[in-house]
Structure 1
Amino acid sequence: MNDQSRPGPGGGEAFGKPRKRRRGWWIFLILLLAVLAGGYLGVQYLLSPPSGGGEPVKLTIPAGSGSLEIAGLLEEKGLIRSKWAFGLYLKAKDQGSRFQAGDYEFSRGIGMDALIAKLNNGETVKAQMNRFTIPEGYTVKQIAERLKEQGVTDGDQLLALAKEGKGAESEWTKAIPDNPDLLYRLEGYLFPETYEMAKDSTPEDIVARLTAEWDKKLAQLPADWQAKMREQGLTFHEALTVASLVEREVVLDEERPLVAGVIYNRLKKGMRLQIDATVQYLLDKPKERLMEKDLLVKSPYNTYQSSGLPPGPIASPSLSALKAAIYPKASNYLYYVTAKDGTQRHLFAETYEQHQKNIAASKQQ
């Protein structure tokens, strides 16, 4: 027999087994590559942004939020596909520790790196703001009307809050006397200033902001202002009332301490203040000139008819008016009249006779 026809040890299978093993390794390798390719494509899918288009997505990141918590919010809003994939991506990129809280607005389809950069930079959405000014010497009615006309807030609601004394945030509003004669408990306590507040601010928000401004401004007064106020036997409410009278009566800053002194001189002598501004406060609309009948209106605010200070402020005074009320200029003056020369200055007098002469002189100017 031909030796080549005989099978070797183990027969013909000795040559077939290695081929099968090699074929198995190729299959395994192909499957492994397929798994890896599938995994890569899966990861790529999870890291890719969801489809774009449509309205921007608004998202609020609360203060103190961790990166995984933020990832959950992003997933809920459809800005990422998986918070877990996002979290792993952050670790791989060594990111997520500098994310900033706030209100954000994201375009749909934003890339992951761009999203991370926006959170790192704190590119929050600025709230739409209203800018408005409360002029010095305005009453709460004028303030409410102004803010209503400008579309800032509901003027009627603000006026109701001022009447009841609700929403105030100043420490000094807690000491407002419980006096039924007060027309508006917060009269004088809404500080005149230029403000910038969010457009969605409520009347309560505005009252809180305007009253709280007093606490900031009072820090600008001399350190002994409260001691000086007590030396004169005044409460803050009374000092604010005097300041409001000065605000409505005097334009020139240098005259304000002198007019405050006149008010105190008349109070000490038991004289009625007879200040026109207190009568104007009671009218629906201010008049250029008061008539005799206007001075007869019955009200504790009418200082032609009632002795002492009115029950409360008649307007929102400036800080300079309050300073004048707390630091008045000493004099013997009991009277003053506005000069008619266009300077807005006053002519002061110690006696009624001299006052009459000043009145006559002012008419000739």
Structure 2
Amino acid sequence: MDLNKNKWKIVVLSFVILVALIGIFIFTQIGPYNKNNKKDIIIDISSGSTVSKISEILYENELIKNKALFKIVVKFSDKAQQLKAGKYLLNQTYSNNDIINLLASGKIYQDGIKITIPEGSTSNEIIDILVSKKLGSRENYEKLIQNPKEFYNDFSYLKEDDITSLEGFLYPETYYFSEKLSEKDVLSNMLLAFNRIYSDKFKEKQKELKMTLQQVVNLASIVEKEAVVDVDRPTIASVFYNRLKIDMPLQSDATIQYIFPERKKIVTYNDLKIDSPYNSYKNKGLPPTPISNPGIKSIEGTLYPDDTEYIYFVATMEGKNNYSVDYEQHLKFVKEYKDERAKLNQNKEEK
């Protein structure tokens, strides 16, 4: 009997030792490559890189010891979809978790040309910014933006039938681009940024609303151009949903502005008569494509609109809006706005 007990003790002890050795092995493999070497190493994660590709880059640069374990750590960190393209400054003292957190944070090594894309920029305005910084040609950008198929391999979300342009998906934020990047690479960085912010939560809400991705971004692009302050975005979205629900034209001046090469100071009555698919006074439903590239607040406001019965809204001099259910009340708010604006202009002239 004692012999059997001793055998079990040996088996258990051997198992514990084995587990401990495996634990030590894993710990050392996912820890720093060399905790004493702080020499800077710059790596470049290209747009569309998979976790496998990233692990290869890190392994080749002697920043991780084990590619398979790195991929497992990424999986358990739940940050696989958050790893961002760009240049990163690392060294061998970084553990696998340190590297993953850095790549997910997007704190790239900023040695390129700084490009800031404001929220609500149109694709033409984005092209103007890029070309002014000598990052490619207008002709190439225009061709690529009108041909989403060029990006299908890296961005499957563009494969929906109603997405006919990259307008709306060039996410507005600050980028650092190498002057050696092609036009396609520059646009890919913006598409990657959109893919990053359009979370699984947003995708589930989109399904709940029974909308396509293009419809969400399309409406968000209008909300982006109509809103001045973030608090108004969900309410403005609710107004447009209510108009769509009763088969009323969206009647957004922002869609009229999109028709013109440059933004006009004011949309005139004659402008509302223009024969264009982007004239939301003459045509019902959403325009053919988004009219700008919206920020996350407008996308969020579109996916999570306020629950209202408002049909109309008009700006106030403070930058917000007055909302109304009936047209008579709306006309009163319009008159108030015009009177206040006229008074302000008069005071300016007197000064």
TM-score (ref. length: structure 2): 0.64
1:137 aligns with 2:117: no
2:339 maps to what in 1? Answer: 364
In the other structure, the counterpart of 1:200 is 180
Change in Cα spacing, 1:206 to 1:167, as seen in structure 2 (3 Å) is: farther
Change (3 A) 1:100 1:349: closer
Larger deviation: 199-208 or 162-171? 162-171
User: What's the secondary structure of 1:211's corresponding residue?
Assistant: helix
- Judge conservation of contact 1:131–1:194 (CA < 8 Å) in 2: yes
Give aligned-pair identity as a percent: 31
In 2: Cα distance, 1:231 partner to 1:129 partner? 41
**Alignment partners' CA distance in 2, 1:189 and 1:301:** 18
1:317 aligns with 2:294: yes
Distance 1:99 1:194 in 2: 29
Structure label with greater radius of gyration: 1
CA contact (8 A) 1:335 1:352 kept: yes
Q: Provide the residue aligned with 2:284 in structure 1.
A: 307
Q: What letter corresponds to residue 306 of structure 2 in structure 1?
A: K
Q: Do residues 243 (structure 1) and 226 (structure 2) align? A: no
Counterpart position of 1:156: 139
Residue type of the partner of 1:302? N
Q: 1:127 to 1:216 in 2, by over 3 A?
A: closer
| Cα distance change, pair 240–99 in 1 and its aligned pair in 2 (3 A) | closer
Asked if the contact 1:257–1:327 (Cα under 8 Å) also holds between the matched residues in 2, the reply is yes
> Residues 100 and 310 from structure 1, CA distance in 2 versus in 1: closer, same or farther, beyond 3 angstroms?
closer
Report the Cα distance in structure 2 between the residues aligned to 1:99 and 1:177, rounded to whole angstroms.
41
Change (3 A) 1:224 1:121: closer
Distance 1:131 1:293, change over 3 A: same
Structure-2 separation of matches of 1:218 and 1:301 = 25
Q: Which residue of 1 aligns with 2:34?
A: none
Deviations 1:40-59 (A, max 9, x none): xxxxxxxxxxxxxxxxxxxx
Count matched residues.
240
Q: Please, what is the CA RMSD of the aligned residues? A: 2.6
- CA gap of 1:100–1:165, structure 2 versus 1, over 3 A, is closer
Deviation at 1:121, TM superposition (A): 8.3
- Where structure 2 has 5 or more consecutive residues not aligned to the other structure, the ranges are 1-42, 44-58, 64-90, 94-108, 341-351
Aligned residues of 1:167 and 1:205 also touching (Cα < 8 A): no
- Structure-2 separation of matches of 1:364 and 1:302: 27
Report the equivalent of 1:175: 160
Within-5 A mapping of 1:54-93: none
- Using the TM superposition, name which of 271-280 and 162-171 deviates more: 162-171
Residue 359 and residue 121 in structure 1: after superposition, are their counterparts in 2 closer, same or farther (change >3 A)? closer
Mapped contact 2:62–2:92 kept (Cα < 8 A) = no
SS in 2 for 1:291: coil
Aligned positions of 1:1-365 closer than 5 A: 100=61, 129-168=112-151, 169-177=154-162, 185-219=165-199, 224-339=201-316, 341=317, 343-365=318-340
Q: How far 1:354 moved relative to its partner? A: 0.6
Structure-1-length-normalised TM-score: 0.61
Cα distance in 2 for residues equivalent to 1:336 and 1:127:
43
- Whole-Å separation in 2 of the counterparts to 1:246 and 1:338: 13
Greater percentage in helix: 2
Q: Distance in 2 between matches of 1:197 and 1:167?
A: 20
CA offset digits 1:246-289 (Å, max 9, x no partner): 00000110110000000000000110010000010011111011
The alpha carbon displacement at 1:128 in A equals 5.5
* Superposition deviation, residue 364 in structure 1: 2.1
Q: Is the 8 A contact 2:149 2:159 kept in 1?
A: no
